[in-house]
Chains A and B, each alone.
Chain A
């Protein structure tokens, strides 16, 4: 191979060495990240688009950055520690599986690791973060075969696990930005107990208790729109998800004041974050356009029902996981309907 630098030859050579043969996947990943690919197209089409998964996932991370940076600003270095713990714990699982399968480390993990950290309460003990991250990566993704083959959103699988395993931790670890006091009430909780609405300004800026990445609504909206404009995420799911919650809340609130009003519903809890960054995960969502609307509608409906009529204060996580499971079925029926007239 021509045009290879010494460093590349070195890294490539390391992977080929007998003693390091076991870690070949890691060296290949390093080579891939630093130098790109040396493969050329085998035939027509002779050229290829420059988008690839590393770029794609990097953009997802850029979209998450406003929420992540503000989380660290609001909750201090402990938020950073949570993010790092999530990455390291999940990373160990990811790398072990890469070595085990002798395949390159998959990029999807970079997004999962960050999303998982951002949906956690800001005072969750680090050991719980680690357990959730390991569980999510292992059972949410690796057992299905890695990024692109998983059925459920791995970050949500991890969060669901710690919600069920450590309910105490997950319900009393809330904290308002810059505060030292631990509270147990998020705006949704406050509304359900006393019917008090947190002012929209505070909801937009995130000056209230909540999961650390989910409070800063402005940043989430900006990041979400950025992803849609760059075509990394599809607008159909967030629009139908948020739209459904809005419409149901509007109708519900008109008839019964115990149901949260529409704008409040959208700005509280994990709804914006979930709609912008988790429901839009292309791997675990439907592939057909109609399917995307149905999926978003389902997510919205379940979120609305759980929030207003069930024991849990927040329903976004459950709704997305539930719809993840339904999505092959949605696609199947959409395809059968679209193509019902095609002769066989």
Chain B
């Protein structure tokens, strides 16, 4: 087994924050009501069920064969209560509310088998499609059934990663221990059979790469995997950075890995492909890491897709004395804030709860800072390994840019954020900003994190890119899915 060392330029290592999820797994009790997000309303495709209908666990309740999407299943046995419109980052979607009943009925994906090697590629792809797992990963898993923007045979590389780049990362030992590794590699074999021409890569950080040997021991067949040891620096997990590290390929601005024939998946995603094809399980459950010091206990929980945050945080899960809590999905740096009424979606791997700290911190700038994280070396936390505090406070006041250069040093795209943002702030956008590489920005938000003057640099750059496209300084055709991509959304995969 050969392990390659991956490089990253810039970036920042978030380490030792309070509230890291432990590798403990519990299964959540069935909530009374679930809110299952389905497709966009403007696609014209309505849910296959109506209010009052009885649904079975695993039954397809939404499906669109005409556009890039994956079917949505009922996560529980129960009755459809209502179908409502809801705003989402992709536009308005309809959300199916299901009240659950206790029952063991389970409608499995038709055609699943342990003898999947005997299936034709088309049959395998159909299993992936019908199970809903085709929507996983950064741009979906390509099949013949329009689960992604490209076809399976156009895929050149599959990258599975556990890069530990975020502040909070799911613990992959949950998926790989015991039988897990064998299931995982079998999942990989399935994907490799579907995407026949693709080479398979696994990228893991310094902390997780001990699993390479475990995985390698379970590999059967002729599955050739190349292993990459990456730095656990943010934003190693972003498409363009990951592809650059693993394949040394440049992904142009506005593109995702998938647009260049690279399928990027997480460990759990591959395991779920295995479960779908071999065990017939549709995508109705997800293991989610509960992270952040606001949770009473940080562990992983297996829950139904569509579980609302309020149900999840009910009981003793969240500290009671913290009234002001922000829930964030997946990433603290780029993730979205979700409120109590929102539900856990199928791409959720980490749910973070942070305190909205509006309180005082007496003479904060003069304290030694044993628990304060900073890119600069101005706090004792840099030398003393205490667990670091984390909350949503700005930790300082807005000021004019000092040109301290921190944003340049951490920028993974190698651009100069402090030179670029004034073009947007002062409304002087022209081709100079394009020449200076504003479109190389990958929206990782790291510049805003490190900014000494608390300037929302990344926000300015995002706005600038939109304006430049609108004012036709750059052609929209240059950006495969237009500036929607800049809003971090993919036109494939997630429906």
Query: Which A residues lie at the B interface, using CB under 8 A?
Result: 1-5, 8, 32-56, 58-59, 104, 106-107, 145-149, 229-232, 234, 282-283, 285, 287-289, 331, 335, 339, 342, 344
* Contacting residues, chain B, for A55 (C-beta < 8 A): 365, 378, 396
* Contacting residues, chain A, for B393 (C-beta < 8 A): 36-41, 48
Instruction: Check A49 against B402 for contact (C-beta < 8 Å).
Output: no
Instruction: Check B332 against A46 for contact (C-beta < 8 Å).
Output: yes
One of A32, A44, A106, A231 near B376 (C-beta < 8 A): A231
Cα-based distance from A24 to B32 in the complex (angstroms): 53
Instruction: Check B394 against A48 for contact (C-beta < 8 Å).
Output: yes
14 chain-A/chain-B pairs, Cβ below 8 angstroms? A2-B324, A35-B362, A36-B365, A49-B376, A50-B372, A50-B374, A52-B452, A230-B377, A232-B378, A232-B404, A282-B404, A282-B405, A335-B416, A335-B436
Instruction: Check A46 against B448 for contact (C-beta < 8 Å).
Output: no
Instruction: Check B449 against A282 for contact (C-beta < 8 Å).
Output: no
Instruction: Tell me the minimal C-beta distance from B397 to chain A in angstroms.
Output: 5
A344 and B392 contact, Cβ closer than 8 Å, known pairs A48-B449, A51-B374: no
A45 and B334 contact, Cβ closer than 8 Å, known pairs A287-B416, A339-B435: yes
* Contacting residues, chain A, for B399 (C-beta < 8 A): 52-53, 106-107, 147-148
Instruction: Check A45 against B449 for contact (C-beta < 8 Å).
Output: yes
Is the C-beta of B363 less than 8 angstroms from some C-beta in chain A? yes
Instruction: Tell me the minimal C-beta distance from A329 to chain B in angstroms.
Output: 14
* Contacting residues, chain B, for A339 (C-beta < 8 A): 435-437
Instruction: Tell me the minimal C-beta distance from B371 to chain A in angstroms.
Output: 9
One of B364, B378, B396, B408 near A48 (C-beta < 8 A): B396
A49 and B404 contact, Cβ closer than 8 Å, known pairs A2-B324, A148-B399: no
Enumerate B330-378 residues with CB–CB distance to A below 8 Å.
331-337, 352, 354, 356-366, 369, 372-378
Instruction: Check A32 against B397 for contact (C-beta < 8 Å).
Output: yes
B419 nearest CB neighbor, chain A only:
A287
List 15 extra interface pairs beyond A36-B395, A45-B333, A344-B435, CB under 8 A: A3-B360, A34-B363, A35-B361, A36-B360, A38-B359, A38-B393, A47-B449, A50-B374, A51-B374, A51-B396, A52-B454, A231-B376, A282-B404, A287-B405, A335-B419
Determine the interface band of chain B, counting residues with CB < 8 A from chain A: 35 or more
A282 and B403 contact, Cβ closer than 8 Å, known pairs A45-B449, A49-B450: yes
Cα-based distance from A317 to B405 in the complex (angstroms): 24
* Contacting residues, chain A, for B377 (C-beta < 8 A): 229-231
* Contacting residues, chain B, for A107 (C-beta < 8 A): 399
* Contacting residues, chain B, for A34 (C-beta < 8 A): 360, 362-363
Instruction: Check A283 against B403 for contact (C-beta < 8 Å).
Output: yes
Instruction: Check A51 against B449 for contact (C-beta < 8 Å).
Output: no
Instruction: Check A48 against B336 for contact (C-beta < 8 Å).
Output: no
Instruction: Check B396 against A37 for contact (C-beta < 8 Å).
Output: yes
Is the C-beta of B391 less than 8 angstroms from some C-beta in chain A? yes
Cα-based distance from A344 to B416 in the complex (angstroms): 17
One of A35, A43, A231, A282 near B375 (C-beta < 8 A): A231
The majority secondary structure among interface residues of chain B is: loop
Is the C-beta of B7 less than 8 angstroms from some C-beta in chain A? no
Cα-based distance from A3 to B361 in the complex (angstroms): 10
One of A38, A42, A232, A234 near B358 (C-beta < 8 A): A38
A5 and B360 contact, Cβ closer than 8 Å, known pairs A39-B393, A48-B393: yes
One of A36, A45, A52, A288 near B416 (C-beta < 8 A): A288
Cα-based distance from A50 to B392 in the complex (angstroms): 11
Enumerate B233-283 residues with CB–CB distance to A below 8 Å.
none
A148 and B395 contact, Cβ closer than 8 Å, known pairs A34-B362, A45-B333, A283-B403: no
* Contacting residues, chain B, for A49 (C-beta < 8 A): 373-376, 395, 406, 449-452
Most chain A Cβ neighbours within 10 Å, of B335, B372, B416, B418: B416
A39 nearest CB neighbor, chain B only:
B394
Instruction: Check A40 against B373 for contact (C-beta < 8 Å).
Output: no
Instruction: Tell me the minimal C-beta distance from A158 to chain B in angstroms.
Output: 20
Instruction: Check A51 against B408 for contact (C-beta < 8 Å).
Output: no
Instruction: Check B418 against A344 for contact (C-beta < 8 Å).
Output: no
Mark contacts of B157-178 with chain A using CB atoms, 8 A cut-off: 1 yes-contact digit, 0 otherwise. Answer: 0000000000100000000000
